[in-house]
Amino acid sequence: MEPYAIYLISDSIGETAELVVRSALYQFETDNYQIRKYSYVQTTEEIESIIEKAALSENAMIFYTFVKREMAAHMKMLTEQKKLFSVDIYTPILNGLSQLFQMQPLEKPGINRQLDEEYFNRVEAIEFSVKYDDGRDPRGIEKADIVLIGVSRTSKTPLSIYLANKNLKVANIPLFPESKPPKELYQIPPERIIGLVNSPAKLNEVRKERLKSLGLPPSASYAGMERILEELEYADQIMKKIGCKKIDVSNKAIEETADHILHYMDALHIKRKQL
């Protein structure tokens, strides 16, 4: 038996039609079909040429995604004339959203491809935050959109990664009495620096859990209250010297702290640097 011919026709790359159709094909235990994909179909003449080819097959089915109504209408007219079974994937969705929003769609093919830039920027931001995590390289301070500073266990790293997913380049610097902060920290505008603060009790709790996960005794000085208070006092001195904003993270989820930082940036019109 001649394989069924499944035509995917689009005014863009056609990945939406392909994703939908291939997902549906999993529901059928057969491989007796051929997918014929036509991307970037921009004229009615191209549509007519493809339909002529499809009409030569007795077992053809057409799926199409056109954002321009005239192209979708032309496709519908031709498939009906040729008595070809076809499915218009986009038009019902666009019509529904048009009624919901009370506005007309842009009808710009491939506009979703513009989202690729945002995706790659996010990937670069995540790579940046990993590279400049935990003070590994102070050169990242001058390149960062936001620099997080604070003592150990103030959520600097998870917050950095979360903000990177919002396309922010984030560097984070740990503060502890035995090490002076990098000089670059005093060479950038203080509004680009966020000091993270945690309560002594919360730090004591999370540091004990950290030691436990490492197989170390909870009595180690790292989790001791005396050491914690010493670190917090030192960090507070540094933050005051810099003049940066401080955020208490002791009772905040990562998402809440991140949202606070984003609103802060918007309020001060702090622009994100180009990656």
Tell me which residue of 193, 144, 135 sits closest to 167, measured CA to CA.
144
User: Final residue of a domain: which of 94, 109, 124?
Assistant: 109
98: annotated binding-site residue? no
pLDDT on residue 114: 59
What is the pTM assigned to this prediction?
Answer: 0.62
152: annotated binding-site residue? yes
pLDDT on residue 270: 77
Tell me which residue of 239, 247, 240, 202 sits closest to 223, measured CA to CA.
202
Determine the structural domain holding residue 24 and report its residue range: 4-109
Q: Are 147 and 189 in contact (CB under 8 A)?
A: no
Residue 120 shares a structural domain with residue 212: yes
156: annotated binding-site residue? yes
pLDDT on residue 120: 82
What length is written for the chain? Answer: 275
pLDDT on residue 13: 87
180: annotated binding-site residue? no
User: Final residue of a domain: which of 86, 109, 132?
Assistant: 109
Mean pLDDT (10-residue bins), the chain, 275 residues: 92 90 94 94 96 92 96 96 96 95 90 68 92 94 96 96 94 96 96 97 94 89 95 97 97 94 88 63
pLDDT on residue 115: 57
Residue 133 shares a structural domain with residue 206: yes
150: annotated binding-site residue? yes
219: annotated binding-site residue? no
